Chain A
């Protein structure tokens, strides 16, 4: 079974630019989550999709972040315009149950 795939693995962009991160969940997993770890801090929840619907987006930091999951398959997370404090590692996870979260390798975003 293929795992959760994220790309790019690394992205370095200038402040003010736009970046789009992509997550391909495990096939058949209805739940898809985005998390973020800023340097040295906790891994924090951003949002949760159930199929194509946003179940919970309470962790999204501000309106510069836009997540989509068209068709209930892969998801994208766009940051526009990027700010320095957006730097961190963005993790995606998928699950069918609460005991079965599988995380991707993460995208390391650096905003300079």
Chain B
């Protein structure tokens, strides 16, 4: 079946860039997503990329997709303490969404 892998923890200093990586196995994925979960809150869709795109930029967020290597990354520029959360990578071909275990981002002031 499909599998999505992420590293579990990332720690960065405030103001630095954060890069969260994700690999997936399903070459048929059509959409790939990044969700953010803050403590006690639900899953917030940060951004998504269609599988025929290589890159998508949205303010401080840059998503890079290497379809050949099945690798997705999320770069957060100028990371702030408010960016501390768990970030989930997810992919979809038909339904349903397949999620990774999430990367806990800690931002050190």
Q: Taking beta carbons and an 8 Å cutoff, which residues of A are in contact with B?
A: 4, 6, 31, 33, 35, 40-45, 48, 55-56, 59, 91, 93, 98-99, 101-106
Contacts of B31 in A (CB 8 A): 98-99
Give the number of A-B contacts (CB < 8 Å): 57
Judge if B53 is at the interface, Cβ distance under 8 Å: no
From B4, B48, B95, give the contact of A56 (CB < 8 A): B95
Q: Which chain B residues in 1-58 approach chain A with CB under 8 Å?
A: 4, 30-31, 33, 35, 40-45, 48
Contacts of B70 in A (CB 8 A): none
Which range holds the interface residue count of chain B?
20 to 34
From B42, B97, B102, give the contact of A104 (CB < 8 A): B42
- In the bound complex, do residue B98 and residue A45 qualify as a contact, i.e. CB atoms below 8 Å apart? yes
- In the bound complex, do residue A91 and residue B95 qualify as a contact, i.e. CB atoms below 8 Å apart? no
